């Protein structure tokens, strides 16, 4: 039963606002209850007029409005039972609905965002006992969002404290609460602001949850639509400082070959074919078409994620999936540079594949103990990271090691795509090889294409000097 003390007769309804944007014209109804502003947007003026008329009719009838939702009490009381759902109940229901459609890593990302949002919604930390932020977020992630998590993955007392302090899901409709949630999503545990890409990803998850709540009739409207917040560009551009030259990349791979020869071809796939690390790691013998000399061909059709046992369907912690941005069964063909064909042939001659034909098998276990043949698993990401770290230290100066230059193996892919663009390869062809759209390619690598600055300056000089000569001739 709703408590009428959470309502007010102090209601103000403003005129309609017309908004003309890139996606068309829309109409916004704005009103306030006890000074708290509310708003909702409609695609047509008629719909907005009808909704505004309902609000005005309730005001004229002397009806109280709910403080949290901003709606007439008759509307609140007539709402479906779904509106009594708690915040944690909404989070759990949403995660269950998304599970079958999201990749394991995406599931983990959803849990991360919603565990932080929960701290913002529940607010008063004193109600949650003496638990750390990490304890509470782990309890939400593994105790509520994940399907296969064991009790060992989180503190059960933290989960109990969260459930005891749970609130109605409609609390998120309060603008002050929602702003606190957005602040929490954009703040690291040490209090520093998160990267723009992280904020963008977390906010997208929150937006999707609130849209789900509207569909489930838990909320009347998505309250995020009424919040004006700093917008972040949808594209994260590559920092040119991370991009190595082809010569530097080759030197790094030579350093890998000295310490870990069975991994050199892996890094070559990133530098000379522009593969994503997960694509290179799951490459099989049957995916290769390698001549003795000249250009070869790579056929990519799968990738593998290792998000942890709690986020996969079978609880193994590993899930093989389709390529990024591709449907199951789809594939991508990438030409193999002659500089890559030779080391791949050499790798196949020298190193045995695993039982499934993967080129890069795990050959050592914990503490570096050699594994017996036949090899059964892929080389771990930690082994690859260690090999790369060692190669950088052996190749770079102390100053270069401290810089962003090729800090991650992924930066070799950036070096490859940048080389293709600077060589004059058509952007559409580069995008096709890389596995994303031409627009994304040009946006992401805009700062890495050589000659743009010089060309722009030459154009400006020519224009300025041309105008000066024109005036002199008059």
pLDDT tens digits along 338-383:
999 999 999 999 999 999 999 999 998 877 788 999 998 899 999 9
151 with 204, same domain: the answer is yes
* Banded model confidence at residue 296, pLDDT cuts 50, 70, 90: very high
Would you say residue 136 lies in a domain?
Answer: yes
159 with 264, same domain: the answer is no
User: Residue 95: which of 144, 137, 150 has the closest Cα?
Assistant: 144
Q: Is 277 exposed, middle or buried (0-12, 13-18, 19+ CB in 10 A)?
A: buried
214 with 164, same domain: the answer is yes
The pLDDT assigned to 40 comes to 87
356 with 374, same domain: the answer is yes
372 with 398, same domain: the answer is yes
Q: Which of 365, 380, 414 is the endpoint of a domain?
A: 414
The residue with tokens 């594949």 is 353
Predicted TM-score of the model (pTM): 0.68
Residue 294 has phi, psi (to 5 degrees) of 85, -165
Q: 82-86, 99-103, 332-336: which range is least confident on average?
A: 82-86
The pLDDT assigned to 68 comes to 81
The pLDDT assigned to 84 comes to 73
Q: Is 358 exposed, middle or buried (0-12, 13-18, 19+ CB in 10 A)?
A: buried
Handedness of CA 415, 345, 301, 361 (dihedral sign): negative
Residues 228-259: tens digit of each pLDDT: 765 555 556 788 889 999 999 999 999 999 99
Residue 423 has phi, psi (to 5 degrees) of -80, -5
134 with 274, same domain: the answer is no
Angle at Cα 323 formed by Cα 201 and Cα 138, nearest 5°?
Answer: 40
Would you say residue 32 lies in a domain?
Answer: yes
Task: Enter the tokens of residue 130.
Answer: 């003496």
Would you say residue 444 lies in a domain?
Answer: no
Regarding predicted confidence, which is higher, 106 or 128?
106
126 with 262, same domain: the answer is no
Would you say residue 270 lies in a domain?
Answer: yes
Task: Enter the tokens of residue 39.
Answer: 């708003």
Would you say residue 447 lies in a domain?
Answer: no
Q: Which of 41, 58, 79 is the endpoint of a domain?
A: 79
309 with 388, same domain: the answer is yes
Contact between residue 401 and residue 390 where contact means Cβ atoms under 8 Å apart: no
Would you say residue 473 lies in a domain?
Answer: no
Task: Enter the tokens of residue 22.
Answer: 């890139």
The pLDDT assigned to 76 comes to 77
Segment 274-286 shows an average pLDDT of 94
Residues 74-93: tens digit of each pLDDT: 887 765 555 578 999 999 99
DSSP 55-124: HHHHHHTT--EETTT-SBHHHHHTS-GGGG-BHHHHHHHHHHHHHTTS-HHHHHHHHHHHHHHHHHHH--
The pLDDT assigned to 2 comes to 46
Domain hosting residue 22, numbered range: 7-79
250 with 398, same domain: the answer is yes
Would you say residue 465 lies in a domain?
Answer: no
Q: CATH no. for residue 403? A: 1.10.443.10
Segment 4-8 shows an average pLDDT of 70
Residues 40-82: tens digit of each pLDDT: 888 889 989 999 999 999 999 999 998 888 889 888 776 555 5
The pLDDT assigned to 324 comes to 78
The pLDDT assigned to 126 comes to 46
186 with 50, same domain: the answer is no
53 with 92, same domain: the answer is no
Regarding predicted confidence, which is higher, 30 or 328?
30
* Banded model confidence at residue 208, pLDDT cuts 50, 70, 90: very high
Whether 470 shows a pLDDT value over 70: the answer reads no
Segment 187-212 shows an average pLDDT of 90
Would you say residue 297 lies in a domain?
Answer: yes
Q: Which of 414, 446, 467 is the endpoint of a domain?
A: 414
154 with 270, same domain: the answer is no
Whether 148 shows a pLDDT value over 80: the answer reads no
Task: Enter the tokens of residue 54.
Answer: 């309902």
Considering the chain, what is the average pLDDT of its residues?
86
Give me the number of domains the chain comprises.
3
């Amino acid at each position: 039963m709703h408590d009428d003390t959470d309502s007010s007769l102090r209601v103000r309804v403003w005129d309609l606002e017309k908004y003309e944007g890139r996606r068309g014209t829309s109409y916004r109804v704005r009103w306030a209850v006890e000074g708290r502003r509310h708003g909702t947007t409609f695609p047509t003026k008629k719909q907005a007029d009808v909704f505004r008329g309902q609000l005005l009719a309730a005001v004229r009838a002397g009806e109280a409005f709910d403080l949290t939702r901003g709606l007439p009490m008759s509307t609140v009381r007539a709402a479906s039972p779904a509106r009594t759902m708690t915040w944690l109940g909404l989070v759990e229901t949403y995660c269950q609905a998304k599970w079958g459609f999201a990749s394991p890593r995406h599931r983990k990302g959803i849990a991360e965002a919603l565990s932080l949002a929960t701290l913002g919604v529940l607010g008063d930390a004193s109600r949650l006992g003496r638990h750390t932020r990490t304890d509470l977020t782990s309890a939400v992630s593994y105790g509520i969002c994940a399907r296969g998590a064991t009790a060992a993955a989180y503190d059960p007392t933290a989960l109990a404290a969260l459930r005891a302090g749970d609130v109605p899901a409609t609390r998120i409709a309060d603008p002050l609460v929602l702003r606190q949630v957005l602040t929490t999503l954009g703040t690291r545990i040490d209090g520093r602001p998160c990267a723009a890409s992280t904020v963008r990803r977390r906010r997208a998850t929150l937006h999707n949850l609130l849209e789900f709540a509207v569909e489930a009739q838990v909320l009347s409207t998505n309250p995020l639509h009424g919040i004006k917040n700093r917008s972040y560009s949808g594209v994260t551009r590559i920092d040119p400082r991370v991009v190595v030259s082809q010569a530097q990349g080759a030197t790094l791979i030579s350093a890998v070959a000295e310490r870990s020869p069975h991994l050199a071809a892996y890094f070559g796939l990133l530098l000379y074919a522009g593969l994503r690390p997960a694509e290179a790691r799951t490459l099989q013998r049957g995916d290769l078409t390698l001549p003795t000399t000249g250009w070869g061909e790579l056929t990519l059709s799968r990738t593998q994620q290792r998000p942890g046992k709690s986020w996969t369907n079978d609880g193994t912690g590993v899930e093989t999936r389709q390529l990024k941005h591709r449907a199951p069964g789809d594939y991508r063909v990438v030409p193999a540079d002659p500089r890559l064909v030779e080391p791949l042939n050499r790798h196949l001659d020298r190193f045995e594949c695993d039982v499934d034909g993967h080129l890069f098998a795990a050959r050592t276990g914990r503490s570096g103990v050699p594994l017996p043949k036949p090899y059964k698993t892929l080389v771990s990401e930690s082994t690859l990271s260690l090999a790369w770290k060692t190669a950088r230290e052996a190749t770079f100066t102390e100053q270069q090691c401290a810089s962003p230059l090729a800090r991650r193996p992924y930066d070799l892919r950036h070096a490859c795509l940048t080389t293709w663009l600077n060589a004059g390869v058509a952007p559409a062809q580069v995008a096709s090889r890389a596995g994303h759209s031409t627009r994304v390619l040009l946006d992401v690598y805009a700062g890495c294409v050589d000659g743009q600055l010089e060309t722009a300056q030459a154009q400006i000089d020519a224009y300025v000097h041309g105008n000066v000569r024109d005036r002199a001739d008059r």
